[in-house]
Structure 1
Amino acid sequence: MTAPARPRARHRRQATRRRTLIAGSAALALSGAALVTTTTLSSAGAATAWPTATGSKAVTSTISVSGTYDGGLKKFYGSGGLGGDGQDEGQDPIFELADGAVLKNVVIGTPAADGVHCKGSCTLQNVWWLDVGEGAASFKGTSSSAVYTVYGGGAKNADDKVFQFNGAGKLVVTKFQVENFGKLVRSCGNCSKQYRRTVIVNDVDVTAPGTAIVGVNANYGDTAALRKVRIHGDSGKKIKTCVRFTGNTTGAEPTEIGTGPSGTTCDFTSSDLTYD
């Protein structure tokens, strides 16, 4: 799948811490429980809606998902062994999705443990993280044909990464919103096994403070396309757009080599971004 045309004229987690879709994703319906929200409009006209949970459920061990899991907009939070909300390595997730699984209509509260893990292609539809712990979601498939789709939803309060792209394939983030975050998407910079990764961020709202929208490894052939990204509260343009790194397999800190548009590695122009 390619990025939408413009009109023409893990990184391994470190302790220190939204119109491009895959085929058929435009037909996804935000079905399930009714979404109760408080909605405001930004000056750019983009809706900012965060849900009110319909109930809550403590999760003491990872919920394994194959097929489709509809949470009915209930809030799930870690308890017991999943009661951590720090930046420690090796935490278990609240949800673990098998290849091809769909998780929809879920609010992940706090503690969030390690959020969601996708073992292969997956769809996260209308999933909301109220307080990101170590990471909101990690994508771990090993096939170059894997596609990870994030459609709708949002995340707040991520000290570091929101989406951790450790595996192979393509990640498409559409109609998502993020605020108070480190990096929205980070391609693993120092995993012991590296892959070429494709990232598409389209029709997304980004609200400061934040560090970067996307981070990719230029030396492994990663590409990132940004389209219709609305950035709020960052008049000084402090949030980096697309950061290029030299990744490694040794576990060392990856080296930042540049930021901004750069051919196919970071594919966007100023017209793809709006600020208010």
Structure 2
Amino acid sequence: MGSTHRKKFLTRRRTVVGGLGAGLLVAGALTTTSLMSTASAAEWPTPSGDRKVSETQEISGVVDGKMTRYIGEGDLGGGDQGEGKDPIFELADGATLKNVVLGSPAADGIHCMGSCTLENVWWEDVGEDAASFKGGEGSTYEVMGGGARKADDKVLQFNGGGTLKVSGFAVEDFGKLVRSCGNCSEQTDRHVELKDIEVKAPGKALVGVNENYGDTARLSGIRILGDEDRKIEPCVRYQGNDSGDEPEETGKGPDGKTCLYKEGDISYE
């Protein structure tokens, strides 16, 4: 399901985070967390502590959360999946956010306004979306490690241009892992790469892309748990639009042009 993203935002309260401040620490060693295992499901981390925030945290440079759990309150305290919420974090172009847990409620998660890196970021209960990527053409977004669960609809919403790379990620109880916006007012080609992903049912689809805009989705090392009937679609193709209408589904599965993967790229356990 594509979502219209011509949102009307409320006046935002923001906290700028760059260097030390707002309970986050710059740099520091990556917290060691078991992301994937060939024998069992991903291990979810135990947060080092909780921090409640009522305004969007603006991130620039490299920021290390030291596995703090962030919980929205006030204007960020809604737990439903309605459109138009502000994010817990907003990342400037080139920013990196690492070692963070988003608890519940998490509002609209994380917004990347340009190229960004999310490293070892975990969403315990996805609100509207876990993360939205909004940079221009040529932007590169990397999601490395981490995981998300309890997403009624999308986990990663791809609204901008460029390439979204997701690796070493765990997802469970979700709608779609990645969706290229099906009806944004400004459309472009978008490219998705999913590598070494652990998927735990229930779920609907790993990726949805718009074939009419030249989107591509490359999948490899996908491991699906608990989906005996294979209901989770690896890749779904759509006819996107810029009018705000619901996009039409046009096909599923590998086609050598838009959905790029082979049978051996996906395993079921």
**TM-score, normalised by the number of residues in structure 1:** 0.86
Q: Distance in 2 between matches of 1:208 and 1:36?
A: 22
Find out whether 1:12 has 2:9 as its counterpart: no
Match in the other structure for 1:71: 65
Match in the other structure for 1:32: 29
SS in 2 for 1:81: helix
The 5 A counterparts of 1:228-243 are 228-243=221-236
Counterpart of 1:261 (choices 248, 254, 263) is 254
Q: Is the 8 A contact 1:214 1:241 kept in 2?
A: yes
Q: Is the 8 A contact 2:36 2:170 kept in 1?
A: no
Q: Is the 8 A contact 2:85 2:107 kept in 1?
A: yes
Find out whether 1:202 has 2:195 as its counterpart: yes
Q: Is the 8 A contact 2:239 2:249 kept in 1?
A: yes
After superposition, the C-alpha distances for 1:32-59 in whole angstroms (9 at most, x for unaligned) are 364467x895xx4366110000000001
Q: Is the 8 A contact 1:36 1:52 kept in 2?
A: no
The 5 A counterparts of 1:23-62 are 32=29, 34-35=31-32, 41=37, 44-45=38-39, 48-62=42-56
Match in the other structure for 1:275: 268
Match in the other structure for 2:154: 161
Counterpart of 1:151 (choices 144, 147, 152) is 144
Query: Which ranges in structure 2 are unaligned for 5 or more consecutive residues?
Result: 6-26
- RMSD over aligned CA atoms reads 1.8
The CA deviation at 1:31 is 5.3
Q: Distance in 1 between matches of 2:215 and 2:30?
A: 37
Q: Distance in 2 between matches of 1:133 and 1:13?
A: 17
Seen in structure 2, the aligned counterparts of structure 1 residues 80 and 219 have a Cα distance that, compared at 3 Å, is same
Query: Which ranges in structure 1 are unaligned for 5 or more consecutive residues?
Result: 1-9, 15-29
SS in 2 for 1:160: strand
Q: Distance in 2 between matches of 1:40 and 1:185?
A: 19
SS in 1 for 2:264: helix
Q: Distance in 1 between matches of 2:29 and 2:244?
A: 42
Q: Is the 8 A contact 1:171 1:199 kept in 2?
A: yes
Q: Is the 8 A contact 1:98 1:118 kept in 2?
A: yes
SS in 1 for 2:67: strand
Match in the other structure for 1:192: 185
Counterpart of 1:100 (choices 94, 105, 110) is 94
Q: Distance in 1 between matches of 2:172 and 2:218?
A: 20
Seen in structure 2, the aligned counterparts of structure 1 residues 256 and 211 have a Cα distance that, compared at 3 Å, is same
Q: Is the 8 A contact 1:35 1:73 kept in 2?
A: no
Q: Distance in 2 between matches of 1:54 and 1:171?
A: 29
Q: Is the 8 A contact 2:4 2:244 kept in 1?
A: no
State the 4+ residue runs in structure 1 displaced beyond 2 angstroms: 10-14, 30-37, 44-47
Q: Distance in 2 between matches of 1:87 and 1:218?
A: 27
Match in the other structure for 2:15: none
The CA deviation at 1:264 is 2.1
SS in 1 for 2:44: strand
After superposition, the C-alpha distances for 1:2-24 in whole angstroms (9 at most, x for unaligned) are xxxxxxxx94358xxxxxxxxxx
**TM-score, normalised by the number of residues in structure 2:** 0.88
Seen in structure 2, the aligned counterparts of structure 1 residues 248 and 66 have a Cα distance that, compared at 3 Å, is same
The CA deviation at 1:263 is 1.0
Q: Is the 8 A contact 2:2 2:246 kept in 1?
A: no
Match in the other structure for 1:26: none
Seen in structure 2, the aligned counterparts of structure 1 residues 141 and 208 have a Cα distance that, compared at 3 Å, is same
Percent identical pairs in the alignment equals 55
